[in-house]
Structure 1
Amino acid sequence: MASITTTSTSADTPDAAAAARHAVPGTLNQAAPDTASRVVPDTASRVVPDTASRAVPYAAKVARRSAAVALLAAVWEVLPRAGVFDRTFLPPLSEVLLALGDLAASGELLDHARASLGRSLAGFGLAIVFAVPLGLLIGWYRPLAEFLNPVLELFRNTATLALLPVFVLLLGLGETSKVAIILYAAAWPILLNTIAGVRGVDPLLVKSARSMGLRPLALFQKVILPAAVPTIFTGVRLAGAYSILVLVAAEMVGAKAGLGYLINDAQFNFRVHDMYAGIIAISVLGLLFNVFLVSLERRFSTWRTTP
Structure 2
Amino acid sequence: MSSAVQLAGAPVDIPSRIAEPAVPRAQRRPSVALPAIGRIGWRIGKPALVIAAFLALWEAAPRLGFVDEVFLPPFSTVVQAGLELVRNGQLWEHTSTSVTRSLIGFTIALFTAIPVGVAIAWYRPVAEFLNPVLELFRNTAALALLPVFILILGIGETSKIALVVYAGFFPILLNTISGVRTVDPLLVKSAVSLGFSPLRLFQKVILPAAVPSIFTGIRMAASGSILVLIAAEMFGARAGLGYLITAAQQNFQIPDMYAGIVAIALVGLAYNGVLVAIERRLSRWRAH
TM (norm. structure 1) is 0.84
**Shift, 1:90, TM fit:** 0.9
Q: 2: CA distance between counterparts of 1:57 and 1:81?
A: 36
Provide the rounded CA distance (Å) in 2 between the counterparts of 1:139 and 1:90.
49
The answer to whether 1:99 aligns with 2:90 is no
* Alignment match, 1:240: 222
Partner of 2:65: 83
Larger radius of gyration: 1
Structure 1: distance between partners of 2:96 and 2:124:
42
* Root-mean-square deviation (Å): 1.6
Map 1:155-174 → 2, pairs under 5 A:
155-174=137-156
The residue that corresponds to 2:24 in the other structure is 41
Counting matched residue pairs gives: 269
Pairs within 5 Å for 1:2-21: none
Identify the structure with the greater strand proportion.
2
Alignment partner of 1:218 out of 188, 200, 205: 200
Matched, 1:302 2:252: no
Q: Out of 121, 126, 131, which is 2:113 matched to? A: 131
Give per-residue Cα distances to partners, 1:207-262, cap 9 Å, x unaligned: 12222233333322221122112211111111111121111111111111111110
Tell me which residue corresponds to 1:196: 178
Write out per-residue CA displacement over residues 72-105 of structure 1, whole angstroms, 9 at most, x where no aligned residue: 1111111111222111111111111110111011
Is 1:62 equivalent to 2:51 in the alignment?
A: no
Structure 1 residue runs of 5 or longer lacking an equivalent are 1-36
Give CA deviations for 1:125-147 in whole Å, capped at 9, x if unaligned.
Answer: 11111111111111110221122
Corresponding position of 1:120: 102
Between 119-128 and 80-89, the greater mean CA deviation after superposition: 80-89
- Alpha-carbon displacement from aligned partner over 1:173-211 (angstroms, at most 9, x marks no partner): 000000000011011111111111110100111112222
Q: In the alignment, what sits opposite 1:175?
A: 157
Distance in 1 (CA, whole Å) between partners of 2:180 and 2:163 is: 26
Equivalent position of 2:3 in the other structure: none
Gap runs ≥5 in structure 2? 1-20
Answer with 260-269 or 214-223: which moved more: 214-223
Match in the other structure for 1:22: none
- For the residues of structure 2 that align with 1:123 and 1:159, how far apart are their CA atoms? 17
2:240 corresponds to 1:258: yes
Residue 207 of structure 1: aligned partner: 189
Equivalent in 127, 131, 140 of residue 122 of structure 2:
140
Counterpart of 1:276 in structure 2 is 258
Cα gap change, 1:49 to 1:143, in 2 (>3 Å): farther
**AA in 1 matched with 2:26:** T
- Counterpart CA distance in 2 for 1:101 and 1:215 is 57
Report the residue type matching 1:132 in the other structure: I
User: Is the counterpart of residue 74 in structure 1 residue 56 in structure 2?
Assistant: yes
Structure (1/2) with the larger helix percentage: 1
SS at match of 2:286: coil
Q: How far 1:157 sits from its partner (Å)?
A: 1.4
Return the letter of the residue paired with 1:161. Answer: L
